[in-house]
Chains A and B, each alone.
Chain A
Amino acid sequence: MSGQGLTGLSSWSRRLVAAGVLVWCLISVFPLYWVVVTAFKTPPGVVGGPTYVPFVDFTPTLQPFIDLYQGIRGEFFRTFLNSTIIGLSAAAIATAVGAMAAYALVRFEFRVRFGAGLIFFLLALGGYLLFNNTLGFTRPQALLLAFPIALVVAIVSNRLPLPGPILGNEDILFWFVSQRMFPPIVTAFALYLLYSEIGRLGFQLIDSYVGMTLCYVAFSLPIVVWLMRDFFEAIPIEVEEAAMVDNVPSWRIFLGIVVPMSMNGLLATFMITLAFVWNEFLFALFLTNSRWQTLPILVAGQNSQRGDEWWAISAAALVAIIPMMIMAGLLSRMMRSGLLLGAIK
């Protein structure tokens, strides 16, 4: 691609544009430089006013990181492990489940009657109210009863010639993506109530590995389905058709042909999902309290606990930031191979 839009400019204004981009880059990078440098400062290096260059302005020290590791400022080591375990498993499950759904939406035809969807919603809502208010079940029991009933009735009624529009694959995709539009506070708060009521039935979900992973899988699925659909659509269908002629079953086509061909896309989706989960704050704030606390919560807590101990705050922030910095490096490599081109259409 030639220099569109800039070809008409003189070399002087080209330089001006380059300078503008450079300024933005400096603005982008300076806070990162600042936090890296501050994490190696000693208390005098912070209190005496801003200092910038190690060994010239101040003597660097590793003490903040040693403090972190020893758990003086909260259990960083365990929280880091929590974040890693939850992040990796949620991203892996979400990518696998979402990729399957995306593949199904690209290659198979789905028809959902609008009426069936409506029946599902009304039955779930009505059934819940009926079980809870009239029949005297507790709220989670009522929900757990109403949900499968509504689902089964809706699936059966989907085969009946109901009036109303028929929704296709595009609409199902839109439904998935629109889940991302919901303010997460709606889900987070309700999920907290739901989890705690299920907890009263004896199955602990709040502050547990299962609860957090489940919630993050659901939370990431819309993005995964959206991204993966584009990757799958870019795969030439001829390869799959050739396999179908040989009567290879669909699941083997998916695992043996489609997945290897879209490995790059799967990897990128996995990393983007991991970044989302790693940085997520609101759900973790509601759904954890001690054992399975994740890094963002602990990092945010540094603020109020320790007034102006910047060296500690910076070291804490760095622990949360560094894995993502490495990921940015990896992602930017993939970006050059035209990865995100497809995602936008």
Chain B
Amino acid sequence: MMRNDPIKHVFIWPAVLVVLAISIFPLIYSFTTSFLSYRLIPPIPPRVVWFGNYATLLQEPRFWNAIFTTTLIAFIAVGVQYVIGFGVALALNARVPGERLFRVALLLPMLLAPVAVALVARMIFNPTMGPLNQFLSMFGLANLPFLTNGHWALGCIIAVEIWQWTPFIILMMLAGLQTLPEDVYEAAELENASAWQQFWGITFPMMLPISAAVVFIRLIESYKIMDTVFVMTGGGPGVDTETLTLFAYQEGFKKFNLGYTSALSFLFLIAITIIGVTYLALLRPHLEKRR
């Protein structure tokens, strides 16, 4: 039942005002700035260039490289997170022995500061003194260039992302699994459906809406990746691991090229929106069929 009472405005306006002020405000500000040629160092008075910044950016290989790198990290990391996360959630839901102990351990990584995690990762991936090097040396793979080779560095960043965020997927999928009705499984038991058939025939389709939501959240969050990369490689070697946010930071905060950076962040926003809308459009037919 919905009430109607003037006091509702007192309840909702503080939140609306704060969010409006802190998010719409800067949005307008940087939107208008993105059409200017505006630098703080050296200080040149702003000049209107319309789509000049956008055109320069779209021709800039470094921009496309950042988009590619970010997409690669986001898709691979989220894909692996989903597979491992779903698997562990299924196991935990089936009351694997020792499950209580697992829960704290599984919750931990995602609550830790990504910068701290990245620092720890730097130590573990150290090519001479790190524990991973010692472990791999046993298989004859000593002194791998973990963070100094572009491909390896990308792999290490993805590994850290997987380590840190799989718990989120486990948590969400576990919550979802616990809401599934039991009678369907009982019926499947009577039909002698194997565990494999039960998974693909019942569990997976019924979990599809939750899966879609969880993957969507992780995908959007992964596109914002910055702190992990900032600490682990700083975007290097060269610009091999430079993500969009890091690129924007370098341009904006190191060179103070305001118009250019504003245009960059808007292209970023557009890219995220395109990915989000495409993702939802691709999934919609599957989701609606189940209703």
Contacts and interface: CB of A to CB of B under 8 A. Distances in A.
Given A4-B180, A193-B258, 8 more contacts: A124-B24, A125-B32, A185-B265, A190-B29, A193-B29, A221-B15, A281-B227, A281-B230
B49 interface: no
Nearest to B160: A31
B14 A97 contact: yes
A4 B262 contact: no
Contacts of A8: 189, 193-196, 198
A266 to B, nearest CB: 15
B119 A21 contact: no
A251 B21 CA distance: 25
A331 interface: yes
19 contacts: A4-B198, A5-B198, A17-B94, A20-B91, A24-B166, A25-B102, A50-B129, A143-B29, A179-B19, A181-B272, A185-B265, A185-B268, A194-B26, A221-B15, A237-B1, A299-B119, A300-B119, A321-B113, A344-B172
Interface in A92-116: 97-98, 100-101, 103-105, 107-110
A28 B106 contact: yes
B102 to A, nearest CB: 5
Interface of A: 1-9, 14, 17-18, 20-22, 24-25, 27-29, 31-32, 34-35, 38, 46-47, 49-50, 52, 97-98, 100-101, 103-105, 107-110, 121, 124-125, 128-129, 139, 143, 147, 151, 172, 176, 179-187, 189-191, 193-194, 214-215, 217-219, 221-222, 225, 237, 241, 244, 249-251, 254, 275, 278-279, 281-282, 285-286, 295-296, 299-300, 302-303, 308, 310, 313-314, 316-317, 320-321, 324-325, 327-329, 331-332, 335-336, 340-341, 343-344
Given A183-B245, A189-B262, A279 B114 contact: yes
Interface residues of B, number: 114
A17 B130 contact: no
Given A20-B91, A281-B114, A317-B120, A251 B10 contact: yes
A105 B231 CA distance: 40
A282 B15 contact: no
B59 interface: no
B268 A317 contact: no
A29 to B, nearest CB: 5
A295 to B, nearest CB: 7
Interface string B175-217: 1111110100100010001111011000100000010010000
B138 interface: no
A166 B57 CA distance: 38
Contacts of B111: 275, 279, 324-325, 327-328, 331
Given A5-B198, A110-B12, A189-B262, A317 B116 contact: yes
B108 interface: yes
Contacts of B41: none
B21 A189 contact: no
Contacts of B249: 185, 282, 285
A28 B167 contact: yes
Nearest to A100: B11
Contact of B269 (A183, A194, A299, A321): A183
A234 to B, nearest CB: 13
Contacts of B75: none
Contact of B227 (A189, A282, A313): A282
A286 B249 CA distance: 9
Contacts of A340: 171-172, 175
Q: Please indicate which of the listed interface residues A5, A331, A343 has the most CB atoms of chain B within 10 Å of its own CB.
A: A5
Contacts of A181: 220, 272, 276
A1 B269 contact: no
Interface in B111-147: 111-124, 126, 129-131, 133-134
Nearest to A105: B12
Contacts of A24: 84, 88, 106, 166
A222 B19 CA distance: 9
Given A183-B224, A344-B172, A193 B116 contact: no
